[in-house]
Chains A and B, each alone.
Chain A
Amino acid sequence: MSKLADDKRRDFEQEALVHLDALFGLALRLTGGDEPRAQDLVQDAVLKAFRSWDNFERGTNCRAWLMTILRNTFINEFRKHKARPVPVEYDLLADRPSSADLFVADPSGELFDRMIDGDIVRAVQDLPEAFRIPIILSDLQGLSYQEVADLMDIPVGTVKSRLFRARKRLQQALYEYGVEMGYVR
């Protein structure tokens, strides 16, 4: 290995690989907890990042740069498979009950403060893909509706309605979990 190539690898390991746990966390959420798929996703994204490491502007946010590469890698895969019928789409038609029960039982939303981060992240992970991706891109990654629409190649109106329903489903799931755990009656 040339010294130049070795320096690049060392530099990349020091600057980029420190964000590996964050990348893996995001990959797990995006894939709905599918660990092998999440590992493949991180691997693809990290190799892409390494190949374009010379273009990365030092001093800018490396974690955000890596997250963007991982997100785009996932979305490209998602788009490739979008044309084929996905059973989860049918799930969109038969929505679960609203989270109105939670607002009635706990109007100030204290339940949310009692939940630990892991409960919430797991509940996101368990959402069907069509709901999970918008909520991850918008709420976990901070993208605008337009950015989510562009990435997922769906209209902004669809992003709004999916986000709305995803959040209500999430509240419903947290409510059910809260009842089970005795956080709410």
Chain B
Amino acid sequence: MRPWPWRRRGSRAQTGPVPDAFSCAECLEVLYEFLDGELDSAERPRVKAHLDSCAECFRHLNFEQRFLDQLRSAAAHDDVRSEGLRLRLLELLEREAF
């Protein structure tokens, strides 16, 4: 599972001037990229700065994070038994091994 980028140590490393203001619309548009760790190092601090100062976008972030957490966790228990398939494969492997 991917780590959440906003939880990473050092992701608050915003030492220079505050980057260009980011609108809520812009922030929400790239929220998934932010959560997926797909934003580049120039864009990530801008989104992070906006999230730090905008309660509404931060609520969206938490909502989407909860959704993705559940989705990824559901997938981790995605095994499906198929005894018929197992028997078919055992036969095929036996034939293949000849």
Contact = CB atoms under 8 A, between A and B. Distances in A.
**Secondary structure call for the B interface:** helix
A178 B78 CA distance: 21
B85 A1 contact: no
Contacts of A107: 59, 63
A39 B82 contact: yes
Contact of B80 (A6, A28, A112, A144): A28
Interface string A164-181: 100100110000000000
Contacts of A47: 92-93, 96
Contacts, number: 121
Of B66, B75, B77, the most chain A CB neighbours within 10 A belong to B75
Interface string B70-93: 111111011111101110111011
Q: Size class of B's contact patch?
A: 35 or more
B38 A144 contact: yes
A163 B38 CA distance: 13
Interface string A1-31: 1000110110011000100111011101100
Given A108-B63, A113-B66, A170-B71, A21 B93 contact: no
A156 to B, nearest CB: 9
Contacts of A50: 93, 96
B67 A112 contact: yes
Contacts of A22: 78-79
Contact of B66 (A25, A28, A112): A112
Given A9-B93, A39-B85, A121 B74 contact: yes
B85 A24 contact: yes
Contact of A120 (B70, B79, B81): B70
B81 to A, nearest CB: 5
Contact of A160 (B33, B64, B71, B98): B33
Contacts of B84: 39
Interface of A: 1, 5-6, 8-9, 12-13, 17, 20-22, 24-26, 28-29, 39, 42-43, 46-47, 50-51, 103, 107-109, 112-113, 115, 117-118, 120-121, 124, 135, 138-140, 142, 144-145, 160, 163-164, 167, 170-171
